[in-house]
Structure 1
Amino acid sequence: MWLKFLFCVLMYFEVEQLGKIAIKSKFENDMLISYTNAFSSGLFLAVGIVHILPEANETLAEYIDYPIAFLIAIFGFSLILFVEKIIFRNVEENPSCVELQQLEHQGHHQAVLLDNFDHQHTNQLIRSLKYNQNNLKPYLLSTAIGLHAVFEGVALGVTKRTSDTLALGLSLMGHKWAEGWALGVAFRESNVEQELQINFIIFSALLSPVGIIIGMLIASESIFVTGIVQSITAGTFIYIASTELIVEEFNKNQNKTIKFILYLLGILLMSFIVYLE
Structure 2
Amino acid sequence: MEYLLQVKICALFGLLLLTLFFGFIPARVKWFRHTDGTETHRTVLSLISCFAGGVFLAACLLDIVPDYLSDINSVLDSRKLETNFPLPEFIMAAGFFTVLILERMVLNCREARGTPHDSERAPLIRDGRNGHDHVHGSSAGADLESSGHHVHVDFQAHSPFRSFMLFLSLSLHSVFEGLAIGLQNTDSKVLEICIAILVHKSIIVFSLSVKLVQSAIRPLWLAAYIGVFATMSPLGIAVGISVMEAELEAGTLIQSILEGLAAGTFIYITFLEILPHELNSPGKQLLKVLFILLGFSIMAALTFLG
TM range (shorter): 0.5 to 0.7
Measured in 1, the distance between the counterparts of 2:299 and 2:213 equals 29
Maintained 8 Å contact 2:175/2:235: yes
SS of 1:96's partner is coil
Confirm or deny that 1:86 pairs with 2:104: yes
Q: Distance in 2 between the 1:77 and 1:103 partners?
A: 28
> Counterpart of 1:117?
none
Q: Which has the higher contact order (CA 8 A, sep 6+)?
A: 1
TM-score by length of 2: 0.61
Instruction: Give the superposition deviation at 1:53.
Output: 2.5
Task: State the 1:13 CA deviation.
Answer: 3.0
TM-score by length of 1: 0.66
**Which whole-Å CA distance do the structure 2 matches of 1:174 and 1:96 have between them?**
36
Match of 2:224 among 203, 210, 218: 203
State how far apart, in whole Å, the 2-side matches of 1:207 and 1:248 are: 26
| C-alpha deviation, 1:40, in angstroms | 1.2
Shift of 1:218: 5.8
Aligned alpha-carbon RMSD (Å): 3.8
Identity %: 17
What code does the residue aligned with 1:211 have? M
Tell me the distance in 2 between the aligned counterparts of 1:176 and 1:9: 12
Q: Which residue of 2 aligns with 1:254?
A: 283
Work out which of the residue numbers 29, 38, 54 in structure 1 matches 2:70. 54
CA contact (8 A) 1:154 1:214 kept: yes
Tell me the residue number matched to 1:115.
none
Question: Are 1:31 and 2:39 an aligned pair?
Answer: no
Shift in CA distance, 57/238, structure 1 to aligned 2, threshold 3 Å? farther
The answer to whether the aligner puts 1:9 opposite 2:9 as a matched pair is no
Aligned to 2:178: 157
Whichever structure has more helix as a proportion of its residues is 1
Structure 1 residues without counterparts, runs of 5 or longer? 106-136, 189-196
SS, match of residue 180 in structure 2:
coil
2:88 and 2:260 in contact (8 A); partners too: yes
Residues 184, 23 of structure 1: alpha-carbon distance in 2 compared, 3 angstrom cutoff: farther
Q: Which residue of 2 aligns with 1:232?
A: 261
Instruction: Name the CA shift for 1:22/1:236 in 2 (closer, same or farther; >3 Å).
Output: farther
CA contact (8 A) 1:35 1:259 kept: yes
Unaligned runs of 5+ in 2: 1-7, 119-137, 144-157, 182-188, 244-249
Matching residue's letter, 1:56: I
- Seen in structure 2, the aligned counterparts of structure 1 residues 92 and 61 have a Cα distance that, compared at 3 Å, is farther
Q: Distance in 2 between matches of 1:98 and 1:240?
A: 20
The verdict on how the C-alpha distance between 1:258 and 1:70 changes in structure 2, with shifts beyond 3 A counting, is same
Measured after TM superposition, the shift of residue 203 of structure 1 is 0.9
Task: Measure the CA separation in 1 of the matches of 2:274 and 2:160.
Answer: 20
Question: What whole-Å deviation, never above 9, does each CA across 1:51-108 have from its counterpart, x for those lacking one?
Answer: 443343223332232453332222222223333x324433554523279769955xxx
Question: Is 1:176–2:184 an aligned residue pair?
Answer: no
C-alpha contact (below 8 Å) 2:16/2:230 kept by paired residues: yes
2:148 matched residue in structure 1: none
Distance of 2:169 and 2:109 partners within structure 1: 19
State the SS of the aligned residue for 2:29.
helix
Q: Tell me which of 21, 29, 43 is aligned to 1:21.
A: 29
Where 2:57 maps in the other structure, the secondary structure is helix
Q: Structure 1: how far apart are the matches of 2:74 and 2:207?
A: 33
- What per-residue deviation string (whole Å, max 9, x for no partner) do you get for residues 122-179 of structure 1? xxxxxxxxxxxxxxx9864663444234223224223356455544553342132233
Distance 2:193 2:261 in 1: 17
- Number of residues paired by the alignment? 238
The residue matched to 1:33 in structure 2 has which SS?
helix
**Within 2, Cα distance between the matches of 1:31 and 1:96?**
29
